[in-house]
Structure 1
Amino acid sequence: MRKKEPRIATPKLPLFIYDFATTGQGIATLNSELIINQQSYSELVGVKVLLWNALPGEVVSKFQIVTQKPHFIEGIAIEFEKQSESRVAPQDKQFLSTSPWQILNDQAELSAKSNILVSLFNHLSKTRPIDEELIQNIPIHQSPKNYFYRNKMEYSLYYNHEIERIQLAVHYRGSHRKMPITSSSLEIPAIFTRANQIVDELNRTKQEARSFQSLLLRANQSGEVSGGLLENGKPHPVFPNLTDTLLGNTYSYSPGGFFQINLPVYEAALLQIKAFFEDSTSVLDLYAGVGTIGLSVARDKALTLVEVNKSAYEELTANSTRVIHTTNNQLIHPILAKSEEVLDQISADASVILDPPRAGCDQKLIQKLCEVQPQKIAYLSCNPVTQVRDLSSLLQYYNIQSIQGFNFFPHTPHIESLVLLTRK
Structure 2
Amino acid sequence: MKIKLKQTFPLTIKRIGINGEGVGYFKRQVVFVPGALPGEEVVVEATKVHPKFAEGKIKKIRKKSPHRTTPPCPVYDQCGGCQLQHITYSQQLKEKRDILIQSLERHTKLPVESLDIRETIGMENPWSYRNKSQFQVGSRDGKVIAGLYSLNSHKLIDIPDCAVQQPVLNDVLNTVKQILKDFNISIYDEKKNKGIVKTIVTRIGVATGEIQLVIVTATNELPKKQLIVEEVQKRLPNVKSIIHNINPKKTSLIFGDKSLPLAGSETIEERLGEQTYSLSARAFFQLNPDQTVKLYDEVKKAAQLTGKEKVVDAYCGSGTIGRWVGDGAAEIRGMDVIPESIKDARENAKALKIKTVYEVGTAEQWLPKWLKEGWKPDVIIVDPPRTGCDQKLLDTIKKIKPKRFVYVSCNPSTLAKDINQLSQLYNIEYIQPVDMFPQTAHVESCSLLVRKEI
Residue of structure 1 aligned with 2:357, choices 333, 337, 360: 333
Native 8 Å contact 1:216 1:256 kept in 2: no
In the TM superposition, what is the alpha-carbon distance from 1:92 to its structure 2 partner?
A: 0.9
Counterpart in 2 of 1:17?
13
Q: How many residues align?
A: 392
Say whether residues 1:243 and 2:226 are aligned partners: no
Query: Which residue identity does 2:401 align to in structure 1?
Result: Q
- Give the partner amino acid of 1:90: P
Q: Distance in 1 between matches of 2:386 and 2:43?
A: 34
Q: 2:69 aligns with which of 88, 92, 113?
A: 88
Determine if contact 1:340/1:365 at 8 Å carries over to the other structure: yes
CA contact (8 A) 2:317 2:336 kept: yes
CA distance in 2, matches of 1:349, 1:291: 17
SS in 2 for 1:101: coil
1:272 paired with 2:303, answer no
Question: Shift of the alpha carbon at 1:201?
Answer: 1.5
- In structure 1, the residue matched to 2:94 is 111
Q: How many Å apart are 1:323 and its aligned residue?
A: 2.3
Deviations 1:257-283 (A, max 9, x none): 311100111111211222333225210
Contact 2:46/2:57 (CA < 8 Å) preserved in 1?
Answer: yes
For 2:335 and 2:139, how far apart are their aligned partners in 1?
A: 43
Alignment of 1:241-320 (within 5 A): 241-275=267-301, 276-279=303-306, 280-299=308-327, 300-320=329-349
> What percentage of residue pairs aligned between the two structures are identical?
25
What secondary structure, in the 3-state scheme, does the structure 1 residue paired with 2:413 have?
helix
Distance across 2 between alignment mates of 1:349 and 1:100:
40
- RMSD of equivalent CA atoms: 2.4
Deviation at 1:374, TM superposition (A): 0.7
Output one character per residue of 1:207-262: Cα deviation in whole Å (capped at 9) or x when no partner. Answer: 34333212111111133221132222332544531111223111111234311100
Could you tell me the TM-score, scaled by structure 1's length? 0.85
Whole-angstrom distance in 1 between the partners of 2:16 and 2:161: 28
Aligned equivalents of 2:35, 2:46: Cα separation in 1: 11
| Secondary structure, aligned partner of 2:116 | helix
1:57 aligns with 2:46: no
Taking structure 2 as the reference length, the TM-score comes to 0.80
Which runs of structure 2 are paired with 1:17-416 in the superposition (5 Å)? 17-31=13-27, 47-63=29-45, 65=47, 68-77=49-58, 79-96=60-77, 97-122=80-105, 127-128=109-110, 132=114, 134-135=116-117, 138-161=118-141, 164-210=142-188, 211=195, 212-221=197-206, 222-234=208-220, 235=246, 237-238=259-260, 240-275=266-301, 276-279=303-306, 280-299=308-327, 300-320=329-349, 322-324=350-352, 327=353, 329=354, 331-344=355-368, 345=370, 350-416=378-444
Shift of the 304–53 alpha-carbon distance from structure 1 to 2, 3 Å rule, reads same
Distance in 1 (CA, whole Å) between partners of 2:123 and 2:319 is 22
Contact 1:17 1:58 in 2 (8 A): yes
Separation of aligned partners in 1, 2:73 and 2:59: 17
Counterpart of 2:160, as a letter, is: T
Could you tell me whether the CA contact under 8 Å between 1:15 and 1:29 is conserved in 2?
A: yes
**Gap regions ≥5 residues in structure 1:** 1-7, 32-45
Task: Please list every run of 5 or more consecutive structure 2 residues that lacks an aligned counterpart in the other structure.
Answer: 189-194, 221-245, 248-258
146-155 or 216-225, larger mean C-alpha shift = 216-225
CA distance in 1, matches of 2:113, 2:151: 39
Cα distance between partner residues in 1 of 2:389 and 2:424 = 17
Q: SS where residue 412 of structure 1 aligns?
A: coil
1:128–1:28 Cα change, 3 Å? closer
SS at match of 1:259: coil
Amino acid at match of 2:23: I
- Are the equivalent residues in 2 in contact too, given 1:227–1:256 (CA < 8 A)? no
Aligned partners of 1:24, 1:278: CA distance in 2, in Å? 37
